Chains A and B, each alone.
Chain A
Amino acid sequence: MSAITVRGLRKAYGELEAVRGVDFEIEEGEVFGLLGPNGAGKTTTVEILEGYRRRDAGEVSVLGHDPEHPGPEFRERIGVVLQQSELWPNLTVRETHAIFAGYYARSRDVNEVIELVGLAEKRDARVKTLSGGQKRRLDLGIALVGDPDLVFLDEPTTGFDPAARRAAWEMIRSLRSLGKTVLLTTHYLDEAEQLADRVAVMREGVIVKVGTPRELTTGDLEVEIRYRRDGEEVVVRTSEPTRVLHELTADAVARGEELERLEVRRPSLEDVYLTLTGDEGAE
C-alpha cells in the first residue's frame, strides 16, 4: 500500500513556480530520497506533504489523509525533522522528549527513544550544551517519540562533519528496520545512494528521474573505459561496453600487449545527477 501519493502537484510563490507538476508514490516501509540542488523545490514539496503549505494544484494523499486539512489523526502518525529548528535551550534532553511525548495519544517510552538516538549519556544535559550533531539527534528523537508511521527528514545531515553524518545514517537505517516509511530530502548524492530505496531527482520544480540508485546509474549514460598506452591515459566512452571492450582486448592480445591500468567504470550517481540537474557546482 502507498504511504504517499502525489499527482500533478504545483505550488507557486507569486511569480516563482517552486513546484511545477510533480508525481511520485512512496510505498509503506520505503525510504524515499528527494534529491536535488538548493531551490529545486524539495522543501516546498515536503512542506505540502507535512501540512504546512497549501498546494495550488494536484492530488496528494499522505497515509490516506489530505494534508491540506491535517487533523489530529494525521498528526499522530507523522514525525517531522525540520531543516532548521531549535528547542528550548534550558530544558534537558529528557524534559524535551517528555514534553513532545505528551502531545501524542500513544507515545513511545522516552528513555527508549533517547537511547535509540544515542543521547543516553546526555539525558540530563541542557539542550544549549549539546553539539550541533547532538541537537539534530534530539530533533530526530522528538520526531520519533510519538511512534510515527511516516517520518519526514528535511536535509538531516546538512552542516555535519563526516563522523556525525555516518552516525546519522546509522540512525536513519534503523528507522527502516523499525518499519517506518521515510521521506528524506538531501542535496548530498552519497546520502541518497546510501540510505534511499528509491531516489527522485528534482530540478527546477520537476522530477527529472525516479528509480533505485542502481537503476539511475544504469540508464542512458555511457560507460567509461580507461587504460594507458605508452604512458598516456586513454578514455573511451561507449553505450556498447561489451563490444568495445572485446575489440580492445582482442587487439591487445593479438599484439601481445597488456592494457595497462584497464578500468571499466559505470557512471556514478554523481555523474547521473550532474547530467540531470545540469548543476556542475553541486556538492
Chain B
Amino acid sequence: MSARLFFHQFRAEQLVFWRSKEAALFIFLFPLLLFMLLGSVYTGKIYGVPAAQALLAGLIGYGCANTSFAGLAIQLVLRREAAILKRLRATPLPAATYIVALLASTLVVFALQTVALFVLGRILYGTPFPHAIGSVVLAVVAGSAVFAAIGVATASVIRSGEGSSAVVNFILLPMAFLTGSFGPTRHYPSFLRAIGDVLPLKYFVDLVNAVYLRGEAIWTQPKALGVLAAWGVAGLAVAIVKFRWEPSDG
C-alpha cells in the first residue's frame, strides 16, 4: 500500500468528516453532551467509584459504537447510494487503501472524542485521567476496529440511504441502554440483561471499566477481548461477503 495515497485519503476523510456539521455534531459532540447531561443527574458512587467516572467509562463505550459503528455505517451507505464509492473505484486509489484510510480516520475521531471526554470529566466532575494509559489506548483501538467491522457489515446489508440512519439508531440506542453505557444495568429485568449480555458493547464497556476504573492491564480481560474478537470476525465475514461499491438500484 502506498503511504502517499494512504495519507492523501486520510486527510481527505478528515476534511470530509469535520466539514460536515451534521457528522461533527451527532458523531463527535453528542457523546460529550450526553456525558454532561448524565453526569449532572447521577450522584454518589457506581461500581465503587464516583458516578461521573463510571459514566465516563460508559460513554467511551457509547462513543465507540456511535463513531465506529453508527457513524461509519451511515456514511458508507450514503456514499454508496450517492455513487461516490462507485466513482472512487474508477480511480487508481486501491480499495484496500480507501478502506484502511477510512477506518484510520474513524479511529482518530473516536480517539479525539475519548480525550475530550477525559478532559471534560476532569474539568466538570474532577474525574481522574487513566493510569493504565497503554491499556486504555489498546482498548480504544480494539473497540474501534471491532465496531468498525460491525459498521461495515451493517452498511452492507442496508439497502437504501434514507433508511440507514433509522436502522442504525434502532440498533445503537437500545444496545447502549442495555449494555450499561448510560448507567448501570443491575436493576434491569433479567431478560433485558440477558439481551445485553450477548451484545458487543457490553464487553467493550466491561473492558473500559477494567482498564480505566480499576486501572487493570488489558490482558487481564480475556473474556471481554474474546467476545469482542468474535464479533469483530463475524462483522468482517459479513462485510467481506456482502460489501458492495455500487448503489442498490443499478
User: Which residues of A pack against B, CB within 8 Å?
Assistant: 50-52, 72, 75-76, 78, 80, 82, 84-91, 95, 99-100, 102-105, 142, 146
Minimum distance in angstroms from B238 CB to a CB of chain A:
23
Please, how many angstroms separate the alpha-carbon atoms of A58 and B121 in the complex? Answer: 65
Of the listed residues B19, B86, B87, B90, the one surrounded by the most CB atoms of chain A closer than 10 A to its CB is B90
Residues of chain B within 8 A of A82, CB atoms compared: 83, 86-87, 90
Complex Cα distance, B84 from A258, in Å, reads 64
Complex partner residue of B84 from A52, A80, A86, A103, CB under 8 angstroms = A86
> Are A104 and B91 closer than 8 Å at their CB atoms?
yes
Beyond contacts A72-B92, A91-B19, A142-B87: 10 other A-B pairs, Cβ-Cβ < 8 A, are A51-B90, A82-B83, A82-B87, A86-B82, A86-B83, A86-B84, A91-B16, A103-B92, A104-B92, A146-B91
B226 contacts chain A at the CB level, 8 A cutoff:
no
Distance between B6 CB and nearest chain A CB, rounded to angstroms: 11
Task: Name which residue of chain B comes closest to A88, CB basis.
Answer: B16
Given contacts A52-B89, A91-B19, contact A103 B5 (CB under 8 A): yes
Task: Return B92 CB to nearest CB of chain A, in Å.
Answer: 4
Which residues of the other chain, A, contact B246 by a CB distance below 8 angstroms? 52
Contact B90 A76 (CB under 8 A): no
Is B166 engaged at the interface, CB distance under 8 Å to the other chain?
A: no
CB-CB under 8 A for A85 and B8, given A51-B90, A75-B91, A95-B15: no
**Contact, CB under 8 Å: B12 / A50:** no
Q: Of B20, B21, B82, B91, which one neighbours A85 at CB under 8 angstroms?
A: B82
Given contacts A84-B83, A85-B83, A86-B83, contact A99 B12 (CB under 8 A): yes
Least CB distance, B169 to chain A, in whole angstroms? 21
Binding site for A on B (CB under 8 A): 5, 8-9, 12, 15-16, 19-21, 82-84, 86-87, 89-94, 246-247
Q: Are A85 and B12 in contact (CB under 8 A)?
A: no
The reply to whether A72 and B20 contact each other, CB–CB distance below 8 Å, is no
CA distance A91 to B83 in the complex (A): 16
Cα–Cα, bound, A89→B19 (Å): 9
B84: A residues at CB distance < 8 A: 85-88
Known contacts being A91-B15, A95-B15, A99-B12, is A85 close to B86, with CB within 8 Å?
Answer: yes
B162 to chain A, nearest CB (A): 14
Contact residues in A for B82 (Cβ distance below 8 Å): 85-87
Residues of A within 8 A of B83 (CB): 82, 84-86
Closest partner residue, chain A, to B93 (CB atom): A103
**Docked CA distance A85–B79 (Å):** 10
Cα–Cα distance between A91 and B87 once the two chains are bound (Å) = 16
